[in-house]
């Protein structure tokens, strides 16, 4: 028999919309035993929140997340706020027995990430982190090829995550450029995805050495104002400048426990690259290549192909045999960025139905943050740093 779970979503902007899309559409594509009920959405400002509530389809709204965690009728709390709020919301939700689903990075510091993991373990609640790119069919295919030994022994991973949205020095000091809110810049935002993907496909990091730069040191501050005509909260640039205290770009090298080596680069200063996550993995028997801007495709090269036809083939991962694809459209009818969140929520619902811990979860969030921290330590110390894991 179908069961419902009541969901509360904190945050209603970029990820708030992506997660709402997932709850709305998951039952259209997946025959889950559990159906999410979009019970309550939370944000700081009531008028824009009320617009989001109506547009996304949530039953209720509130501007105070503390009211949500106290409610007995909420089963799952989904955190899509900036990282500075993750810890408090996650811990308070765990205390009242809720399933906690949190956006990446798990928190703004490794210390906070450990506290979050301790809380979900102490209060014995299930948890998940939104490394949604794991849930793309092409990535699932990459995982399958590696597990089946098609790539052989892995030698290299080469991963970049390139964006260009803060190239203009007059672009304002948004929360993503403030350490007290975001924790770090391109590193925690973009390298976090690369690190998780690499842990998933290649294995655990053993040591790292990094380099980072903040190209634009000061930017116009932002002022939030209530627009008296519309009631909406609007932001405008101030004459005053504030210090950018996070990295614009972070590059690092890594060694892995299985002997592989890797290079990683995250930047917000690559003109023309909008959301350019690309990676290539090379092994003794072949290579695989992924480019997020062509997210349905996986390139694969096999040394076992006859010499006369050897070359990279491009697999469109939309066939029913590819992970998740059977739930979507007929072969060749591609899916999009937002659909990775639908797959993610489908896996969470399945785990709840089977009383299992979903993956990726807070352990993955902590392990990712341990690598992020080791890279930051190596930058400060100007030397290789071992990735020590407490979990």
Contact between residue 278 and residue 296 where contact means Cβ atoms under 8 Å apart = no
Closest to ligand NAD by CB, 136 vs 379, is 136
Shortest approach of ligand NAD to residue 97 CB, angstroms? Answer: 21
Closest to ligand NAD by CB, 130 vs 194, is 130
Closest to ligand NAD by CB, 15 vs 288, is 15
Closest to ligand NAD by CB, 266 vs 385, is 266
Non-local CB neighbours of 373 within 8 Å, separated by 6+ positions: 109, 110
3 state DSSP class of 10: strand
Q: What is the DSSP string of 235-276?
A: EEEEEEEEE--S-SEEEEEEEETTS-EEEEEEES--TT-SSE
Q: Where along the sequence are the contacts to ligand NAD (CB under 6 A)? A: 10-16, 42-44, 65, 80-83, 85, 103-104, 130, 132, 189
Shortest approach of ligand NAD to residue 91 CB, angstroms? Answer: 14
Shortest approach of ligand NAD to residue 345 CB, angstroms? Answer: 12
Closest to ligand NAD by CB, 311 vs 336, is 336
Shortest approach of ligand NAD to residue 31 CB, angstroms? Answer: 25
Q: Which of 110, 291, 276, 266 is nearest to 191 (CA)?
A: 266
Measured from each CB, the residue nearest to ligand NAD is 13
For tokens 């619902």, name the residue: 349
Shortest approach of ligand NAD to residue 49 CB, angstroms? Answer: 8
Maximum C-alpha span of the chain: 70
Calculate the alpha carbon distances from 366 to 183, 224, 312, 384 in Å: 14, 33, 35, 20
CA–CA separation, 291 vs 277, rounded Å?
6
């Amino acid at each position: 028999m179908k069961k419902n779970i009541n969901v509360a979503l904190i945050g209603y902007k970029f990820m708030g919309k992506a997660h709402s899309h997932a709850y709305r559409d998951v039952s259209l594509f997946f025959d889950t035993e559990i159906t999410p009920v979009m019970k309550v959405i939370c944000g700081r400002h009531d008028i824009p929140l009320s617009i989001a509530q109506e547009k996304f389809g949530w039953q209720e709204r509130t501007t105070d997340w503390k009211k949500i965690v106290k409610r007995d009728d909420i089963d799952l709390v989904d955190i899509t706020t900036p990282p500075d709020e993750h810890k408090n919301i996650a811990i308070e939700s765990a205390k009242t027995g809720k399933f906690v689903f949190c956006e990446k990075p798990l928190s703004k510091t490794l210390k906070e990430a450990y506290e979050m993991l301790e809380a979900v373990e102490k209060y014995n609640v299930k948890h998940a982190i939104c490394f949604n790119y794991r849930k793309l069919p092409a990535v699932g295919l990459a995982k399958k090829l590696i597990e089946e030994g098609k790539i052989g022994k892995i030698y290299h991973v080469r991963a970049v995550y390139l964006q260009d949205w803060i190239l203009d020095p007059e672009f304002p000091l948004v929360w993503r450029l403030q350490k007290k809110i975001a924790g770090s810049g391109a590193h925690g935002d973009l390298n976090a995805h690369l690190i998780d993907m690499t842990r998933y496909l290649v294995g655990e990091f053993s040591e790292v050495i990094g380099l980072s730069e903040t190209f634009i040191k000061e930017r116009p501050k932002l002022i939030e104002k209530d627009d008296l005509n519309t009631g909406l909260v609007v932001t405008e640039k101030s004459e005053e400048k504030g210090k950018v205290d996070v990295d614009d770009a972070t590059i690092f090298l890594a060694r892995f426990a299985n002997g592989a080596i890797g290079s990683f680069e995250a930047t917000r200063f690559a003109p023309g690259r909008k959301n350019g996550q690309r990676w290539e993995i090379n092994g003794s028997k072949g290579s695989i290549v992924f480019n997020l801007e062509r997210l349905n495709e996986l390139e694969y090269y096999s040394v076992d192909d006859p010499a006369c036809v050897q070359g990279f083939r491009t697999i469109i991962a939309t066939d029913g045999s590819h992970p998740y694809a059977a739930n979507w459209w007929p072969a060749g009818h591609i899916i999009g960025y937002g659909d990775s969140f639908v797959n993610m929520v489908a896996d969470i619902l399945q785990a709840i139905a089977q009383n299992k811990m979903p993956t990726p979860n807070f352990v993955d969030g902590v392990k990712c943050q341990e690598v992020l921290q080791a890279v930051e330590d190596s930058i400060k110390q100007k030397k290789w740093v071992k990735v020590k894991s407490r979990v």
